[in-house]
Amino acid sequence: MEKQAVETARRWLADQGVSQVRDGWVSDEKRDVLLTANQVAHSWAGDVFAEDLDAADQLRLAFGLLDLLDDYWVTCEIRFANEDAEGPLPADVLWDGYRQRLEADRDVEAVTYSLWVDWFEDHTTSATAFAEVLGNDIDRVVAERSEVLLRRARRVLECSGPVRWTLKEPTYRTAVRLPALHPALFQAFRASFHDVYGDLEPAAALGLLDKLDLPAGTQHLAELRHVLAAGHKNHYRSPGAWDDAVRSCS
């Protein structure tokens, strides 16, 4: 399905006069000017949502363009279209598109960055976004333990720092039951403390952190335990706490 989506997006770009060459992209208007994927995304991705297609097919085309260009800006155009006057986009297609890419066996930094800085940092969307990409089926992830589901779970956990603690704690508690997710959970706790918009409850987070089976000498584990035991919620609300922990644990 992903390969087909890529080829559909490639044909659509060709219809716009844009084609891929060895070192980048070119447009028919300026064949001598080499374009980056980011420039193509900024110039053409938004036009997908002006196509004479229903919203679901527009969105599928946008995801194909994301796969082809691997550029974060395509996710921005998806978000803009979801929020504009003709939105929202079909939720089933939107979140299925995110889940599929989070499960893909390739780098998906544009997708995880989009979740982190757009969907998760915004408290008007974080509850739905987190539930759709992991919270709703964490029990299935733990029960089935397939590599595809684990890959998605790891990626979501690692960028879930900004999600409100009350929303993500039940998912974290379920994920603790599966040792394969413990390293990702550790990164989730670190992000929840260090991110500008990170959120956690120190006592509850420490209780879960202590259940993780992590390698001896895991970097920053002692410091994280130290700040949580002291009741600190966030690096930026307690700016000296981490440095104190580093000194105490060295």
Q: What is the pLDDT of residues 216-238, one digit of tens each?
A: 999 999 999 999 999 999 999 99
94 found inside a domain: no
Average pLDDT of the segment spanning 9-30: 97
The pLDDT tens digits for 106-148 are: 999 999 999 999 999 999 999 999 999 999 999 999 999 999 9
Distance of alpha carbon 194 from alpha carbon 168, whole angstroms: 16
> Are 23 and 106 members of one domain?
no
> Are 104 and 84 members of one domain?
no
> Are 112 and 152 members of one domain?
yes
> Are 240 and 138 members of one domain?
yes
Domain that holds residue 105: 99-250
Question: What is the pTM (predicted TM-score) of this model?
Answer: 0.96
> Are 104 and 22 members of one domain?
no
Question: Which of 40, 60, 89 is a domain's end point?
Answer: 89
Longest CA span, the chain: 62
Domain count, the chain: 2
> Are 120 and 36 members of one domain?
no
CA atoms within 13 A on the CB side of 35: 20
